[in-house]
Amino acid sequence: MREVILAKSAGFCFGVRRAVELAQKVAQSGQPYVMLGPVIHNDNVIADLEAQGVTCVHSVEEVPPGCGVIIRSHGEGKAIYDKLAEKGCPIADATCVNVSRIHEIVRDASQRGRQVVIIGDPDHPEVRAVAGWCEDAKIFRNQEELSVFLVQNEENQQKPLTMVSQTTSTDRIWTPCREKVKKECTNAEIFDTICNATCKRQSEAQSLAERCGAMIVIGDRKSSNTTRLAELCRAHCPLVYHISRAEELDRRMVSGVASVGITAGASTPGWIIKEVKNKMSDELNNAMEIEESFADMLEKSIKTLNTGDKVTGIVTGITATEVNVDLGTKHAGYIPISELSDDPTVKAEDVVKVGDEIETYVMRVNDVEGVATLSKKRLDTVKNWDTIEAAVEDKTVLEGVVTEDNKGGIVVNVKGIRVFVPASQTGMPRGADLSEMIKQHVKLRITEVNRSRRRVVGSIRAVAAEERAAKAAEVWENIEVGKKYEGTVKSLTSYGAFVDIGGVDGMVHVSELSWSRIKNPAEVVSVGDAVTVYVISYDPEKKKISLGMKDRSQDPWEKFTSTYEVGSVANVRVVKLMTFGAFAEIVPGVDGLIHISQIADHRIEKPGDVLEEGQNVDVKITDIDFDRKKVSLSIRALLNDNAAGEGEAEDAE
């Protein structure tokens, strides 16, 4: 005889029941009230309250001035109460008494200067509310996060510390945290604030899951305590379904199961639990009658399953932990999420949808419970090995993501298969830090496959070389003098810079980098810079390209002659010292000569006695040779002019 067993503690806890009753009382009062966030995590209850005129808002700013506000069972921080008081809003406080106790604990601890630590989900409204009653609360999901906080600074272990827990947490999370603080901290207060009703509900659910062939967990999918119930049940029962209403039940969920356990989260109303229990009982009875009526026919017609078989079925349901598949056999097939894809971040809904036909690999068959554990990932792996092997023959270019580096090279994940790329084939310079390539998407060619040893070798360099050769061919096909390219500086020498213009390197001579006189290309560009260059000349046979960077549209001589004339005074930069004088840059691209006799108003042995390269000095332009584009400069003439001017000023006095 099949049976449906309902857990004793299923459904509303005291705090949730109180919150719902308070909200319903307010709704019937006729006074305008809103819920500040859902009063509990159950869409059906919220919809019922909204139908009675109590709408839901999500911030204090949305509350009309003077309108009443229902504080949800999760509670709110002190700042919310203060804002509502400023707006003159009456408050119907539905905060759970257990949560209110935590508020008092952390508020008192904060006033005493203690560091408050909360163990819970930082995004959960209850945890955010608790943090709102103290200063600088630290929130950790588990013992691992807590350990990082304690060891990263020894001072944290010496602080007076007060630790509390989210009411819906579990002993599995809380106990390691409590023991860690006891061991590491010298001045700690620890308050076990997990709700007793939560502990009792979880204990009953686990005990029931051990006895039953399937478990139905009822509750809103946004409810954290219901989600935890489902997680705990899955550790003890192979078939666990998290539903919110009876409409989600399907006979195939419990096909071949002798007993079904039912539990419900703290936010699930009794009428939904009753609805599910009644429907589940009807489904089991109907299933038993059908199975008994057609037992002989099913035994003859339904095919058997064996581990290692490739089977095709229809996706009938998707949950947070598994995908249900109808195989057309007496076995209920399911794919654990971990066996759906090689990508751990992928969502099940992105891979399959209800109604899709899916080909899978049979991992395990449980004839007693009528369950078949399936894997799409493993079947994909077999197909991907075929693709990898074919890529060697076809010389196909594949794509993957670099996952790790080692002494000999890097590892690339290609369709879930590890491909080793030797350092010499990564395309990186010798001695480069290969860890910089981790998480990069790369293209590679497979060069070696040993399926029995699960060894695959590839080359990124080969693909890069082919792509570069293709780009180079395109450049040589379309190159012409004067054509502009956007390029990247690849290397520098004493005489110029080499620039990659798309598969081909061209050389910009130091004289073509700038109109200014420079000694080293590094004064103008650096390796890796993006630059605009133009073709000066090229030799297809020798594969050489001469490039320019300085703007030919600007004539430095025209700029000079339009700015200066004989007799003008200019501030110039000394660029080169010679035995007979010094060359100085007047404007970029135009230099003038200061003859040694014009450097000072007295005799000097050499220009270096007075000037040095890079120095800026004022000079007088004494001559301009327009035909030969030469300019004569004089410091002496300027000094004489200044002296004469001072003499005239003295005479005038």
CB 340, CB 389: distance < 8 Å: no
CB 153, CB 107: distance < 8 Å: no
**Which among 6, 16, 405 is positioned nearest to 197, based on CA atoms?**
16
Element (H, E) at 476: helix 460-478
Q: What residue has token string 């599910």?
A: 276
Distance (Å, whole) CA 638 – CA 620 = 6
**Which among 359, 358, 316, 363 is positioned nearest to 338, based on CA atoms?**
363
DSSP, residue by residue, 166-214 = -TT--HHHHHHHHHHHHHH-SSEEE-----HHHHHHHHHHHHHHHH-SE
Provide the greatest CA pair distance for the chain.
136
CB 126, CB 154: distance < 8 Å: no
Q: For residues 551, 556, 559 and 560, what is the CA-based torsion angle, rounded to 10 degrees?
A: 160
Query: Catalytic: which of 76, 126, 189, 322?
Result: 126
In a 3-state reduction of DSSP, which class is residue 6? strand
Q: How many CB atoms lie within 10 A of CB 40?
A: 29
Distance (Å, whole) CA 356 – CA 258 = 29
Q: What residue has token string 């040694």?
A: 596
DSSP, residue by residue, 221-262 = TT-HHHHHHHHHHHTT-S-EEEESSGGG--GGGGTT-SEEEE
Ramachandran assignment for 175, one of left (phi > 0), alpha (psi -120 to 50 degrees), beta (any other): alpha
**Which among 341, 377, 342 is positioned nearest to 361, based on CA atoms?**
377
Helix extents (H) in 263-321: 270-293, 295-301
Task: Find all residues with CB under 8 Å of 648, minimum gap 6, and list them.
Answer: none
CB 191, CB 185: distance < 8 Å: no
Taking CA atoms, 550 is separated from 369, 489, 493, 517, 531, in Å, by 80, 15, 18, 12, 11
Catalytic, 61? Answer no
- Cα angle 555, 556, 557 (rounded to 5 degrees) comes to 90
Catalytic residues: 126
